[in-house]
């Protein structure tokens, strides 16, 4: 991807992340996938509601993939003790929590018109919700420990242990009797139960989500580098000597020693989003037969949350680089 | 204690709440619903106990009633008459999977909550992609 950053605080890394070809690819593929999902034929039984599969399933698979990358980053950190692997594990876990949340949200939007319930206490749903909160615990752990090496070590152990949930979630529909249907594609008999055009739309969705994930991961790791630099400034550590010239040509050493710049978590907006998700069904609840309303809700929720998360990463990188520039 | 430990509150409460609801909910996490054969075999003998029954809506058995709908639910071996209160919604039709909640008096299942359970097959309207 980018050039290797031997030292995490070279002048280039102190700038906010710039537009990258991955960002262009993400916008392009997700646009194509949206069109494909809306244009392919509907399913015979579910009708237009089957279009929600093209966002729900990719979100679920990307959650699995993201947590597997966290596993890989955690193992690589423990072996090499290089912080870039820790940053990879952390960035991927955050993306994984995002995709798990999106999976749950889209599952509810799909469940209400098809199953006739938003939620029920069924194995696949329960285990997915548990996975969401456990990885939220991973992110919490990273905020609790301040010392970088200790944080990296403990998070790596967490990131390795937590991954047992992936087979548990995925095979819950095979092992147990559930409401959720069996796997259509990633099934034990490896015989996809889906017609070619619908399968093509699904694959396009998965590819698009993978590119979006890569773009988000790159931006998230850049934020980590910036914030690590901010913290070393706070600690009064000389960061990279005279080589570091922040934008505005003020040297980092000249930065005033301010109170610790904790990464903004923006917990209030997230709580508002969660509250809105709880209240909305009471205010807006179309009939299951109004299929396009549900499909639109799912697609709007998908794209809106991707934009919000990308904006959030951009905001964090701007905050950190401003602090460094002072 | 360091105030930063408060970050653990949301994940911990989340996991606990989900598990408590899952364990106190009807039936079991590993068996979301009983099948007609198990119910006929007497898996639930208390006529007041609420539980979930699941299976396919048997073709040709759906009749509308004043209070809702009645039909047979089958697992291929046994069938059970379901008397459901409330109008059927959405994808409910003959041959589709359903999970109903209610009680069984030994001859009929009296349900007030219905979930539709569809399978993992995705087939286009054209129907020209028959798998061998």
Structure ipTM: 0.91
Contact list in B for residue A116 (CB cut-off 8 A) is: 89-90, 114-116
Q: Determine, for residues A134 and B22 on separate chains, whether the beta-carbon distance falls below 8 Å.
A: no
% residues pLDDT > 90 (chain B): 70
Closest to B114 (Cβ–Cβ): which among A116, A187, A289?
A116
Is residue B73 a contact partner of residue B80, using CB atoms and an 8 Å limit? Answer: yes
Q: pLDDT band for position A83 (50/70/90)?
A: very high
Between B14 and A16, where is the model more confident?
B14
Q: Which residue of B has its CA nearest to A39?
A: B124
Residue A250 has what pLDDT? 42
What does the alpha-carbon distance between residue A95 and residue A145 come to, in Å, rounded to a whole number?
20
Contact list in A for residue B131 (CB cut-off 8 A) is: 191, 193
Distance (Å) from the alpha carbon of A31 to chain B's nearest alpha carbon: 23
Rounding to the nearest 10 degrees, give the CA dihedral for residues A122, A128, A130, A131: 160
Mean pLDDT computed over B27-44: 90
Distance (Å) from the alpha carbon of A256 to chain B's nearest alpha carbon: 25
Mean pLDDT computed over A208-219: 97
What does the alpha-carbon distance between residue A244 and residue B39 come to, in Å, rounded to a whole number?
74
Closest to A45 (Cβ–Cβ): which among B15, B33, B118?
B118
Mean pLDDT computed over A151-156: 97
DSSP-based three-state secondary structure for B42: coil
Q: pLDDT band for position B119 (50/70/90)?
A: confident
Q: pLDDT band for position A321 (50/70/90)?
A: confident
Tokens of B54: 């699941």
Residue A265 has what pLDDT? 63
Q: Which residue of B has its CA nearest to A288?
A: B90
Residue B131 has what pLDDT? 46
Q: What is the average pLDDT value for chain A, to the nearest integer?
A: 87
Residue owning tokens 């152990």: A157
**pLDDT tops 60 at residue A251:** no
DSSP-based three-state secondary structure for A290: coil
Residue A252 has what pLDDT? 44
Contact list in B for residue A117 (CB cut-off 8 A) is: 115
Contact list in A for residue B33 (CB cut-off 8 A) is: 177, 179
| B130 touches A: beta carbon within 8 Å | no
Indicate the angle between helix axes A83-114 and A148-161, nearest 10 degrees: 40
Mean pLDDT computed over B119-125: 86
What does the alpha-carbon distance between residue B42 and residue B40 come to, in Å, rounded to a whole number?
5
Q: pLDDT band for position A15 (50/70/90)?
A: confident
Contact list in B for residue A197 (CB cut-off 8 A) is: 124
**pLDDT tops 90 at residue A72:** yes
Residue A244 has what pLDDT? 44
Mutate to test the interface with B, among A45, A56, A193, A201 (most CBs of B within 10 A): A45
Mean pLDDT computed over A124-149: 95
Q: Which residue of A has its CA nearest to B13?
A: A133
Which pTM does this prediction carry? 0.89
Closest to A140 (Cβ–Cβ): which among B11, B25, B127?
B11
| A116 touches B: beta carbon within 8 Å | yes
Residue A243 has what pLDDT? 42
Q: Chain centroid to CA A30: how far?
A: 15
**pLDDT tops 80 at residue A307:** yes
CB atoms within 10 A of CB A6: 8
């Amino acid at each position: 991807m980018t050039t290797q950053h031997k030292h995490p605080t070279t002048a280039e890394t102190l700038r906010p992340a710039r537009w990258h070809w991955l960002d262009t690819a993400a916008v392009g593929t997700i646009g194509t996938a949206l069109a494909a999902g809306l244009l392919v034929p509907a399913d015979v039984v579910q009708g237009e509601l089957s279009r929600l599969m093209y966002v729900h399933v990719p979100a679920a698979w990307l959650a699995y993939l993201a947590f597997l990358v966290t596993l890989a980053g955690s193992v690589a950190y423990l072996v090499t003790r290089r912080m870039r692997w820790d940053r990879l594990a952390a960035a991927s876990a955050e993306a994984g929590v995002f995709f798990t949340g999106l999976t749950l949200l889209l599952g509810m939007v799909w469940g209400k018109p098809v199953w006739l319930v938003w939620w029920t206490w069924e194995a696949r749903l329960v285990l997915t919700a548990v996975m969401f909160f456990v990885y939220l615990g991973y992110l919490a752990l990273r905020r609790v420990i301040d010392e970088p090496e200790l944080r990296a070590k403990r998070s790596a152990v967490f990131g390795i242990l937590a991954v047992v949930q992936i087979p548990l979630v995925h095979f819950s529909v095979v092992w147990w009797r559930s409401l959720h249907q069996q796997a259509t594609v990633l099934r034990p008999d490896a015989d996809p139960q889906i017609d070619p055009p619908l399968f093509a739309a699904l694959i396009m969705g998965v590819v698009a989500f993978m590119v979006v994930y890569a773009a988000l991961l790159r931006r998230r790791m850049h934020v980590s580098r910036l914030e690590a630099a901010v913290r070393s400034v706070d600690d009064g550590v000389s960061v990279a000597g005279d080589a570091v010239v922040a934008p505005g040509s003020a040297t980092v050493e000249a930065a005033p020693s301010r109170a610790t710049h904790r990464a903004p978590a923006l917990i209030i907006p997230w709580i508002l989003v969660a509250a809105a998700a709880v209240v909305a069904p009471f205010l807006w609840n179309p009939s299951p037969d109004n299929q396009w309303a549900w499909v639109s809700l799912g697609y709007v929720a998908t794209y809106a949350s991707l934009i919000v998360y990308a904006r959030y990463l951009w905001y964090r990188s701007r905050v950190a680089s401003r602090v460094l520039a002072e | 204690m360091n105030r930063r430990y408060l970050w653990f509150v949301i994940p911990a409460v989340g996991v606990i709440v989900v598990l408590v609801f899952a364990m106190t909910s009807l039936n079991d996490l590993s068996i979301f619903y009983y099948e007609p054969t198990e119910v006929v075999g007497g898996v639930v003998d208390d006529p007041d106990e609420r539980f979930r029954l699941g299976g396919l809506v048997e073709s040709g058995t759906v009749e509308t009633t004043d209070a809702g709908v009645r039909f047979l639910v089958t697992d291929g071996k046994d069938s059970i008459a379901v008397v459901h209160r409330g109008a059927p919604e959405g994808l409910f039709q003959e041959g589709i999977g359903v999970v109903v909640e209610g009680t069984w008096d030994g001859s009929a299942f009296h349900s007030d909550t219905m979930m539709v359970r569809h399978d993992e097959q995705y087939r286009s309207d054209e129907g020209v992609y028959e798998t061998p």
